[in-house]
């Protein structure tokens, strides 16, 4: 069984598939037993065909496909459910996350306490448009103030976390943006790690500032409610 599963959700990313797979294998082969789980969210282009063809030269690659488009959070969760590794690394399928950062996250995990279940990437130098960076700073400030999750960048796609801890979290659409707060709600600790960020190589973003804001307001209120309604206690067998 692989020790690590790298989960990559994609929608219409045919030109970014092969370069990213090559970078993942270059970063991880010879360092850990791993698998790559791509989840195609019912792409309209030939992303699925490119992935299927890539399996012949990449024995670590597995491909899951959605029969109907469901969005990034569902794609991530279905990939994690299908994964066999005890730990999960996630990457965005657009190539802006650098797979070379995964070994750094693994090294930090190995030197940390078992209470830390999420190592969240922190894009210190974002390679996005000015409007997107400004919108993210504003959203991060509002989220941090309301949820008190003490995380500078929850939207970064590269993360490392324990599979069992993730599957114990409440599921909802867009939950991938609130993993630090949800992990803390479950009683676990989170560590933010500076990572590399790159410009998109090809294709177009699937989000814009307006739809992020509209969805984010509702989600933020929902996560705040979950935190308020949470109760935890240690247990012992008698």
- pLDDT higher for 224 or 101? 101
Q: Which two tokens stand for residue 192?
A: 């933010």
Tell me how far apart the alpha carbons of residues 59 and 24 are, in angstroms, rounded to a whole number: 13
Range among 58-67, 197-206, 208-217 rated most confident: 58-67
CB–CB of 117/183 below 8 Å?
A: yes
Range list of β-strands (E), the chain:
4-10, 34-40, 61-65, 87-90, 116-123, 159-162, 189-195
Confidence of residue 213 (pLDDT cuts 50, 70, 90): low
Q: pTM value?
A: 0.88
Which residue ranges form the domains of the chain, and what is each CATH number? 4-228 (3.90.550.10)
CB–CB of 63/35 below 8 Å?
A: no
Range among 142-146, 153-157, 160-164 rated most confident: 160-164
């Amino acid at each position: 069984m692989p020790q690590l599963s790298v989960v990559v959700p994609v929608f219409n990313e045919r030109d970014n598939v092969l370069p990213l797979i090559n970078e993942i294998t270059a970063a991880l082969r010879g360092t850990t037993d791993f698998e790559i789980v791509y989840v195609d969210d019912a792409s309209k282009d030939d992303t699925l065909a490119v992935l299927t063809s890539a399996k012949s030269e990449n024995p670590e690659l597995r491909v899951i496909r959605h029969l109907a488009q469901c969005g990034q959070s569902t794609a991530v969760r279905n990939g994690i459910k299908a994964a066999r590794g005890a730990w999960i690394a996630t990457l965005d399928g657009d190539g802006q996350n650098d797979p070379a950062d995964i070994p750094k996250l693994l090294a930090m995990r190995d030197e940390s306490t078992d209470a830390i279940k999420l190592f969240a990437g922190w894009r210190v130098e974002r390679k996005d448009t000015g409007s997107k960076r400004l919108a993210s700073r504003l959203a991060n400030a509002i989220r941090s103030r309301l949820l008190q999750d003490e995380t500078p960048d929850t939207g970064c796609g590269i993360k490392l976390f324990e599979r069992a801890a993730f599957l114990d979290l409440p599921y909802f659409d867009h939950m991938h943006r609130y993993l630090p707060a949800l992990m803390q709600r479950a009683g676990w600790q989170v560590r933010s790690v500076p990572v590399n960020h790159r410009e998109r190589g090809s294709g177009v973003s699937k989000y814009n500032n307006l739809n992020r804001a509209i969805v984010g307001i509702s989600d933020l209120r929902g996560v705040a409610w979950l935190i308020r309604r949470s109760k935890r206690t240690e247990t012992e067998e008698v």
